[in-house]
Structure 1
Amino acid sequence: MKKLIIGGIGILCLFISNPVNAQDEDKVNFSKEELKFSKMDASPMDLAMYKDQNDKAVARVIYSRPQKRNREIFGKLIPYGEVWRTGANEATEITFYEDMKIADAVVKAGTYTLYTIPDEKEWTVILNNKTNTWGAYEYSSKEDKVRINVPVRQAPNTIESLSMAFQESNNGADLLIGWDDSYIKVPFETVK
């Protein structure tokens, strides 16, 4: 029994006194074929989370963040009057961890695709039942759960990357979606 304990301590000392640095290529023998990572996405994925006062998750949005890069965004890059995935790459998804009220509709807890139809003065915000989609190519209004119209607001400064955040409100939270020189507020109420 003593030999086993001493042997275990000896091995532990060996690991502590001789650490392996994974970034030191001289000590790690990986071939280049084994380590193929993709480049950083031009529109990286991000998420916005809404938690209640007890730090319990209520809603989460996962989206990709395209960049302005001196381009005219709304009405040009993102055409007015057309369904948009509300981001880049995969369509934006919103998950509710409890039932929520949006306009006059109660939306059950679950995951939905968040599409929008931008226009100059207002956007149509759509929660759609079909998830795991690329772009808006598979969009079908037959899968719509809720549609609401919200006014476009002037941003106080230029928003370089598409950005989303939850802002607490009296009965729940507003999802802020902003890019370029404008933003919208999408109201969500918790169902009590």
Structure 2
Amino acid sequence: MKKLFLLTLVTGLFLSLGSSAQQDKSKRPSPPAKVSKTIASGAEISVDYSRPSLKGRALSALAPVGKVWRTGANEATVFETSKDVKIEGKTLPAGKYGLYTIPGDDEWTIIFNKTWKQWGTVYKDSEDALRVNVKAGKSSENTEVFTFDIADNGNVSMMWADTKVVFKVR
């Protein structure tokens, strides 16, 4: 009887762990999204991220000015390129990178970190592959849900609230 009870308990534990490991990410409050584009250089670039919503909060409360932000929600946002590319004129080798940012009032720092498969709040600047600074602009519309877009010319846009930040990938 003890063996049957123990076997039932262990089986139940494994089943509950297995079901939580298979969580449907689309049901999260900040669901996943992915954008991809083959740019003029022939490189395929993609951004795999989660999409937080403002829900009445200020952008600065979610992406604080002057502090490293995970650039999305949940796991680290992943920027991937199939070939070496130039980001704002600086070389980034082909591969996958954790994408972080440091928001500013007029300028944002875009960070490509070598460690990409991790929870988004885990960040070590010693693992940075590249940092570039770009101007922050105002968007013509207010964007409730954080959004990435990749244009045919390789411009990658991040839009949230009334802010639009664009970095060039060539």
State if a TM-score over 0.5 links the two structures: yes
Matches within 5 A, 1:142-153: 142-153=126-137
Encode CA deviations 1:56-83: one digit per residue, 9 max, x unaligned. 7610100000011111112x22211111
- Determine the C-alpha separation between the residues in 1 that align with 2:43 and 2:132: 24
TM-score by length of structure 2 reads: 0.81
On the 8 A contact 2:63/2:69 being kept in 1, the answer is yes
Counterpart residue identity of residue 187, structure 1: K
* Structure 1 segments unaligned to the other structure (5+ residues): 1-32
For residue 105 of structure 1, report the CA deviation from its aligned partner. Answer: 2.4
CA contact (8 A) 1:83 1:136 kept: no
Structure 2: segments with no counterpart, 5+ residues: 1-15
After alignment, is 44-53 or 91-100 more displaced? Answer: 44-53
1:61 corresponds to 2:42 = no
Q: Which residue number in structure 1 is paired with residue 103 of structure 2?
A: 118
Bigger radius of gyration? 1
Q: In 2, Cα distance between the equivalents of 1:103 and 1:153?
A: 16
Larger RCO (CA within 8 A; separation ≥ 6): 2
Which has more helix, going by share of residues? 2
Q: C-alpha deviations, 1:65-122, integer Å up to 9, x for none?
A: 0011111112x22211111110000010011011101134221111011100001111
Moved over 3 A (4+): 33-39
TM-score by length of 1: 0.72
